Amino acid sequence: MANKVPANGAVPTMFVASVAPAFPMDMDNPCEHPRDKKKRRYVVYIAEEEIDYEPTGKFYVGRTSGTGTVTQIVNKRQQGHHRTDIGKLKAIHETDSYSACRGAEQKHYEDMVAKNQAITSPRAKGRGAQIAPIAADNRRKQKYLDCAQASARHSHPGCPICGA
């Protein structure tokens, strides 16, 4: 199933991965991460860049975490966001796994880049910067991607971007 974005720029509905999938004891679990000991929700979001309050068709992809509802978590992030030139944050992926969230953020960022819809400024902080989700030399990068894929495949209906 291909991920289709309507011509009006609407974004796909949110994918929810309720739990990281189980792995046999003899397999290395790509979803295992020390941060998962905290009972938090991890959310991947997108927001469209705006210049003089006009949408540009380019999206910022990011992640946040917290407790409470997804709406509460995203609204809190919106209030303290370093990007003041983006519109409302829209949650597109939720999970209880930090690793799955990192992998999902990367996969959604790469999907947006492939569609020429991502903000692709260099890694940096501050106004105008898109913080690239996972550095190329991050030793856990493949585990994050594997976890996002496994989580998507073990959830219904599954995320076509993360599950690929």
Helices 98-114 and 141-153 pack at an angle, to 10 degrees, of 90
Whole-number pLDDT of residue 117: 93
DSSP states along 60-117: EEEEEEESS-HHHHHHHHHHT-S-SSB---EEEEEES-HHHHHHHHHHHHHHHHHTT-
Number of structural domains in the chain = 1
Answer yes or no: are the C-beta atoms of 95 and 151 closer than 8 Å: yes
> 130 in a domain, yes or no?
yes
Tokens matching residue 109: 């960022």
Whole-number pLDDT of residue 14: 56
Q: Which residues constitute the domain of residue 120?
A: 15-19+32-153
> 78 in a domain, yes or no?
yes
Single pTM value for the model:
0.74
Other beta carbons within 10 Å of 110? 17
Whole-number pLDDT of residue 30: 66
Tokens matching residue 154: 């073990």
Per-residue pLDDT of the chain in tens (164 residues, 90 and over written 9): 444 454 555 555 555 554 445 544 444 666 776 666 677 889 999 999 888 888 999 998 999 999 999 999 998 888 878 777 888 999 988 888 889 999 999 999 999 999 999 887 665 555 555 666 788 888 989 999 999 998 887 776 678 888 87
